[in-house]
């Protein structure tokens, strides 16, 4: 019933994936990283698990007396094609209708609590760097452009121009990689 691209929108899903695939590079790993797309995406950094998120969304739908696909489609379409719900941690989630069997498509709302908006290529670069880099903790222009070109076929960047965003994504992923209780 629920379609949620956790790898694309859930920080702890990516961190777990990094742990599982550390130092691996193959077509499946590359395709997974490339699934971030080419524009911007909203990224949930809160402590709710994927199951918690799905469960709370389903509970909200029950509260709205939405039990069937046609009811959900009408409910969403009556509001311009989407609805936004707030979950227990104060995060907001956008719900859309898709024709597939998993018709409740959810993703973090833009600029909501526990959510950041990131450029997909910055996220791809940082995930690739953390996945494959065995030594460096701080990255340089040369190192970032090596990973972008060699593994992601992305054009080089001038880190001086994109440093703030790249560093923010990198720090977020590093911070999330540290063991934290109750996650």
Q: Which of 73, 89, 108 is the last residue of a domain?
A: 108
Handedness of CA 45, 49, 51, 53 (dihedral sign): negative
Question: Do residues 40 and 122 share a domain?
Answer: yes
Give, in order, the Cα–Cα distances in Å from 96 to each of 77, 80, 119, 123, 182. Answer: 9, 10, 22, 24, 30
Percent of the chain's residues with pLDDT above 70: 89
Question: Do residues 37 and 57 share a domain?
Answer: no
Question: Do residues 142 and 59 share a domain?
Answer: no
| Residue 173 in domain | yes
CA–CA dist 123, 133 (Å, integer): 15
Confidence of residue 180 (pLDDT cuts 50, 70, 90): very low
Question: Do residues 165 and 122 share a domain?
Answer: yes
Q: What is the pTM of this model?
A: 0.86
Q: Which of 108, 125, 153 is the last residue of a domain?
A: 108
Question: Do residues 30 and 74 share a domain?
Answer: no
With residues binned 3-state (H G I as helix, E B as strand, rest as coil), the percentages for the chain, rounded to 5, are 50, 15, 35
């Amino acid at each position: 019933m629920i379609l949620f691209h956790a790898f694309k929108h859930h920080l702890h899903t990516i961190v777990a994936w990094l742990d599982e695939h550390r130092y691996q590079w193959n077509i499946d790993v590359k395709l997974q990283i490339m699934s971030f797309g080419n524009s911007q995406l909203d990224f949930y950094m809160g402590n709710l698990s994927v199951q918690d998120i799905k469960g709370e969304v389903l509970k909200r739908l029950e509260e709205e007396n939405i039990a069937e696909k046609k009811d959900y489609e009408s409910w969403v379409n009556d509001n311009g094609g989407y609805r936004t719900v707030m979950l227990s941690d104060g995060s907001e989630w956008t719900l859309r209708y898709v024709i597939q069997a998993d018709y409740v498509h959810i993703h973090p709302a833009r600029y909501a609590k526990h959510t950041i908006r990131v450029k997909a290529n910055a996220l791809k670069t940082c995930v690739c760097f953390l996945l494959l880099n065995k030594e460096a903790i701080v990255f340089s222009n040369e190192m970032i452009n090596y990973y972008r070109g060699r593994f992601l076929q992305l054009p080089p960047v001038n880190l001086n121009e994109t440093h703030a965003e790249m560093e923010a994504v990198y720090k977020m992923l590093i911070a999330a990689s540290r063991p934290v209780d109750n996650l």
